Structure 1
Amino acid sequence: MEKIITLVTKSTILKLFIKKCQKSGKLSKAEKTVSSMIKLLKINSYKEPLILIEQAVLNIAPPIIIKKKRIGSYIYYIPTQINIKKAISIGISWLLGSVKNTKELAAEIINAANFQGITWKKKQLYIKNAISNRVFSHISFLNFSKSAHYSKYLSQKKEYIESSLVGSFNKQHSCLKKIPSIK
């Protein structure tokens, strides 16, 4: 138990791992779970357990997150970049959510370090979903709180486009009378 506490001070990813394992405020139970997982990792793999855990979490951590944004009656799924701390936190929660006991967790960590397993497939599907929704990535920069603002923005944009088209038409055909803008 003392050995695990010294390991915790060295690795911030392991600290996060223990905090995510914690259920209903029982830190000692989470530490026991992580220490038994580390023992299983020592037995089942040839690498150092801390390096294996960090490698697995970094392999699973997603570089982007998909946020929902509602504009009018539509819901857009917008991929946005996140910082490394948030990505690591999501990766750890995916790891812990995909397994039920410590033996499965140790096996899943080994698989994740080798770019295999349930969580690796989950990350690949997540990235595939983000790539398919990259069309909507420009929407996050508009920052419209209500659909009325968005419709106002669209109407102004439409008026600007129509006025520029009419203006260019009049310049090309100066002999014609001015055409009123379409509303």
Structure 2
Amino acid sequence: MFIGKKFNSLILFNLRCNLENSFQFYSVFPPNYIKPIYKKDEQEALYREEAELKQFSHSPVKPAKTNNTCSEFHDELIRKFTNYIMRKGKKKMARKILDETFENIKIKKLNEYYNTSPEYRENIVLDPKVIFYQAVENCTPVLELQKISRGGIAYQVPVPMNENRAQFLSMNWIISTAQNKGNAEKLSDVLAKEIIDAANNQGRVIKKKYDLHKQCEANRAYAHYRWL
């Protein structure tokens, strides 16, 4: 009796996995539906392009998501970073940590600005948002290693990353590197240091990206297994 139940549960598990794999690209809306434009600057740019506006007006549009807003304080990349910081659904705490991080970045850059001679001050970026964007861009990897089996042997094959995964790894590396510092410092203080270092192409996160690219370079002989 016990073996029969176990066998049935195994069949149901395999069926569920097959269904998940077969419907991983399923969407409520057909592929001809286009994404909504909810940012004011993007809408103004669309109005300037008459041909594009005409095409847009005759195409079915997906409804906007609940987190899509035209507020000038909304930023998609910062929203994602806040969600990656969040643990156990405590979004208020995650936002507080990010606000303190940006405040620390601003303080550090202002100290650097006033301690620098006037002729070099124009090269110092003071906006925490610009520094954050630069840090994420500098930490974004291009390749990753993927395990591919050929002839019973598993090879670590370098494959290009898609944009979403590369961006996720970049931000996740920044957060995990800051968390590995332990409890000696506040997370917001360490995050600020890591973001500033990454924006300057320095620090442990940049090293992690370069190490990954070196491993991909070392395994370039297996790159042809991607197409076999």
TM-score by length of 1: 0.70
Paired residue total: 138
Structure-2 residue corresponding to 1:119: 205
Q: CA RMSD in A?
A: 2.0
> Aligned AA for 1:65?
E
Answer whether contact 1:8 1:14 (CA < 8 A) is retained.
Answer: no
CA distance in 2: counterparts of 1:7 and 1:124, whole angstroms: 37
Match of 1:35 in 2: 99
1:98 lines up with 2:177 in the alignment: yes
Indicate yes or no: 2:121 matched with 1:58.
Answer: no
Q: Of the candidates 192, 196, 200, which is equivalent to residue 110 of structure 1? A: 196
Going by fraction, where is helix more abundant, 1 or 2? 1
Q: CA deviation at 1:71?
A: 2.8
Query: SS of 1:47's equivalent?
Result: coil
Give the distance between the partners of 1:98 and 1:40, measured in 2 at CA: 17
Structure 1 residue identity aligned to 2:99: S
Alignment match, 2:83: 19
TM-score normalized by the length of structure 2: 0.57
Structure with the greater relative contact order (CA < 8 A, sep ≥ 6): 1 or 2?
A: 1
Distance 1:8 1:68 in 2: 43
- C-alpha contact (below 8 Å) 1:21/1:96 kept by paired residues: yes
Instruction: Check whether the contact 1:9–1:15 (CA below 8 A) recurs between aligned residues.
Output: no
Q: Deviations over 1:88-125 (max 9, x none)?
A: 11100010010121111100100000010000111111
> Which runs of no fewer than 5 residues in structure 2 stay unpaired?
1-68, 110-124, 180-186
Matched residue of 1:77: which SS?
Answer: strand
Q: Which has the larger radius of gyration?
A: 1
Percent identical among aligned pairs is 28
Shift of 1:35: 0.6
**Matching residue's letter, 1:120:** I
Alpha-carbon distance in 1 for matches of 2:80, 2:87: 13
Which structure 1 segments of 5+ residues have no match? 143-183
Task: Give the letter for the 2:215 counterpart.
Answer: N
